Amino acid sequence: MNRKLFVASAAALLAGCDSTKNALNENQGVKDVLHLAQAWNHAAIGTHGMAKLYAESDIDRNYPTNGDPTPTDPEYQGLVKERFRSYKLAVSGLVERPQTFDLARLRTLASLTQITRHDCVEGWSVVGKWTGIPLHAFLSLVRPKPEARYVVFYSFDRDENLQQFYGSIDVRQAAHPQTMLALDLNGAPVDPDHGGPVRLRIPTQLAYKSTKWVQRIELVDSFKRIYGGHGGYWEDQGYEWYAGI
Amino acid sequence: MKRHSVVVRLTHWFGALALILLVMSGFAIFNAAPYLDASDYSNPAHRVLAMGSIDGPNGSHIGVVDVFGHRIRTTHLLGYTDDGQGGEATRGFPGWITWPAYQDLAGARVWHFFFGWIMVLAGTIYLVFGSFRKELALLIVRPSDFPKMWPMQAYYLRLRKDPPPHGKYNPLQKAGYTVVIFVLAPFVVVTGLALSPGVDAFAGPLTTLLGGRQFARTWHFAATIALVIFTLGHVFLVASTGVINNMRSMTLGTYRLGKNEGTGE
């Protein structure tokens, strides 16, 4: 196996052979080794400091969207039609007070407005003004149990294979003062294309961690048993769980 | 005679492998947003480079590169190029030079970060070991090297029969290696980190110093191109100044001295 890999690597380097490069990219053993760097990145960079704050004049009114536009999920479409009047955000899992929040209650909790930069993994970035609930303040209402290690966000959105979008962050990232459940973008309720009525905003990591169209939240001690087991939809597609880089 | 220690030879080849994979996976990452801005956040008004395609006659595609506002047609080379799976598509760099060949941002990032660590590790071992063994001192350029630079260049251009007397490295080698090892390579690492949101959060002044997040990405790209040009020149000189002697010195370690070549500074 190792000799085969070595020969394949040498061939790829010498001949620039596309199929060999692509095969190495898909080899599970190679992937497992390469993914070690994620833990090194997490240890070296981690969750420290505060994302830069911007001025009103930096705001881009044409905030781009990426990935899916408005979800076609029937439940979500029904909520859009009645302007999210019956939307309820359920919090469950390793919490002492599992409960649901309607939009009116969530709005009374919104206390944070910050103009931050959204860094897409593709390489572009955009500045927007977000208003919402600091996640640490929100979680204090449901009282996470000591064994809770990750906060999982399930989205209304599904891909073409009907796989649900979801994402997760650790309690350290959840406690970061700039991590928020966003309700408003640039002074108006977050529209359906940008993840409304409730989306996550994590300005200290790449934006694929900021789950859109949050349907429910679950606190867990491990995400290994959730869907692909990598802690998120994008992570199950091969992106790193730690997205500070 | 013995020229390169085993640590120098090992770190050189690990670094070479890492450099190839970093550049190729870097081009694949660039392809996900094939444009560069000289600004903090994306701003088309400050775009210095963009690759893409425009419609040609009869439904064909023309690859174009816009660099500092000048449009260059680059079909098959950049902008509209081989997609790494036998076809052609609108993409920045062609599949033959990206890693992987087809467009896979997640995969390319994983290769990039792993070999980024390999490169930093190899570079650190080389620097620490080289300082400890005082080998590094032999290739740092000094004021006394400057008067010898033109005679050395004249020798390379065959305007002079023999090189000026010099130590283990000639004055032009010293200048090149000093810039690459102490300026260019650290700059590539720093700019790569500075464009990351997690680093910007605790090292904000660094990102600001570079002109912002998108500007850091632009610097990272520009420094990479400079490193690629250096490496191509390096390989050309290895090949044209006694390829067997040079390759033996970096593999087996032994080297036959040429005229006016020494072993010291």
The answer to whether A10 faces chain B, any CB pair under 8 Å, is no
Q: Which residue of B has its CA nearest to A119?
A: B197
* A184 contacts A132 by C-beta, under 8 angstroms: yes
What mean pLDDT value characterizes chain A? 93
Contact B214 A124 (CB under 8 A): yes
- Which residue of B29, B41, B46, B115 is the best one to mutate when testing the A interface, meaning the one whose CB has the most A CBs within 10 A? B41
What is the pLDDT at residue A212?
97
Give mean pLDDT, residues A22-34: 95
Q: Compute the distance between CA of residue A104 and CA of residue A113 in angstroms, rounded to an integer.
A: 18
Contact A52 B200 (CB under 8 A): yes
What is the pLDDT at residue A17?
81
The answer to whether A45 faces chain B, any CB pair under 8 Å, is yes
Q: Is residue A14's pLDDT more than 50?
A: no
- Which residue of A25, A118, A205 is the best one to mutate when testing the B interface, meaning the one whose CB has the most B CBs within 10 A? A25
Q: How many domains does chain A have?
A: 1
Domain definitions of chain B by residue range: 1-32+103-265, 36-96
What is the pLDDT at residue B22?
98
Q: Which residue of A has its CA nearest to B17?
A: A13
The answer to whether A124 faces chain B, any CB pair under 8 Å, is yes
Of B20, B204, B213, the CB nearest to A119: B213
Of B42, B100, B199, the CB nearest to A45: B199
Q: Compute the distance between CA of residue B186 and CA of residue B191 in angstroms, rounded to an integer.
A: 9
Residue A241 belongs to some domain of the structure: no
Residues on chain A touching B116 (C-beta within 8 angstroms): 37
Provide the residue count of chain A: 245
The answer to whether A218 faces chain B, any CB pair under 8 Å, is no
Q: Is residue B110's pLDDT more than 90?
A: yes
* B15 to chain A, closest Cα gap in Å: 14
C-alpha B52: how far from its chain's center?
Answer: 24
Give mean pLDDT, residues A108-135: 97
- Superfamily of domain B1-32+103-265, CATH level 4: Transmembrane di-heme cytochromes, Chain C (1.20.950.20)
Residue A121 belongs to some domain of the structure: yes
What mean pLDDT value characterizes chain B? 95
Give the CA distances from residue B199 to residues A64, A173, A206, B142, in Å, rounded to whole numbers and listed in that order: 24, 14, 11, 35
What is the pLDDT at residue A67?
74
What is the pLDDT at residue B133?
87
* B21 contacts B139 by C-beta, under 8 angstroms: no
The per-residue pLDDT for range B125-174, each reduced to its tens digit, is 999 999 998 889 999 999 999 999 999 999 999 999 999 999 999 999 99
Query: What is the span of the domain harbouring residue A214?
Result: 50-236
The per-residue pLDDT for range B205-225, each reduced to its tens digit, is 999 999 999 999 999 999 999
Q: Compute the distance between CA of residue A237 and CA of residue A226 in angstroms, rounded to an integer.
A: 14
Residue A95 belongs to some domain of the structure: yes
Contact B32 A121 (CB under 8 A): yes
What is the pLDDT at residue A2?
61
Q: Compute the distance between CA of residue B181 and CA of residue B178 in angstroms, rounded to an integer.
A: 5
The sign of the CA dihedral B5, B10, B12, B13 is positive
**CATH assignment of the domain containing A128:** 3.90.420.10
Residues on chain A touching B213 (C-beta within 8 angstroms): 117, 119, 125
Kindly list the residues of chain B whose beta carbon comes within 8 Å of any beta carbon in chain A: 17, 20, 29-30, 32-33, 40-42, 84-85, 95-97, 99-102, 104-107, 109-111, 113-114, 116-117, 193, 196-204, 207, 213-214, 217
Q: Is residue B57's pLDDT more than 50?
A: yes
DSSP chain A: -HHHHHHHHHHHHHH--HHHHHHHHH-HHHHHHHTHHHHHHHHHH-S-S-PPP--GGG--SS----S-SS---HHHHHHHHTTTTT-EEEEEESBSS-EEEEHHHHHHH--EEEEEEEE-TTS-EEEEEEEEEEHHHHHHHH-B-TT--EEEEEEEEE-TT-PEEEEEEEHHHHHSTT-EEEEEETTEEPPGGGT-S-EEE-TTS-GGGS-SSEEEEEEES--TTSTTSSSBHHHHTT--S----
What is the pLDDT at residue B86?
86
**Percentage above 70 pLDDT, chain A:** 93
Q: Is residue A11's pLDDT more than 90?
A: no
- Which residue of B82, B114, B218 is the best one to mutate when testing the A interface, meaning the one whose CB has the most A CBs within 10 A? B114
User: Which two three-digit tokens encode residue B214?
Assistant: 């998108």
Residue A197 belongs to some domain of the structure: yes
The per-residue pLDDT for range A180-238, each reduced to its tens digit, is 999 999 999 999 999 999 999 999 999 999 999 999 999 999 999 999 999 999 999 99
The per-residue pLDDT for range B22-41, each reduced to its tens digit, is 999 999 999 999 999 999 99
Residue A232 belongs to some domain of the structure: yes
Residues on chain B touching A47 (C-beta within 8 angstroms): 198, 201
What is the pLDDT at residue A144?
98
- Which residue of B20, B200, B215, B224 is the best one to mutate when testing the A interface, meaning the one whose CB has the most A CBs within 10 A? B200
ipTM: 0.92
Residue A32 belongs to some domain of the structure: no
Interface of A with B in 53-112 (CB under 8 A): 58, 60
Q: Is residue A7's pLDDT more than 90?
A: no
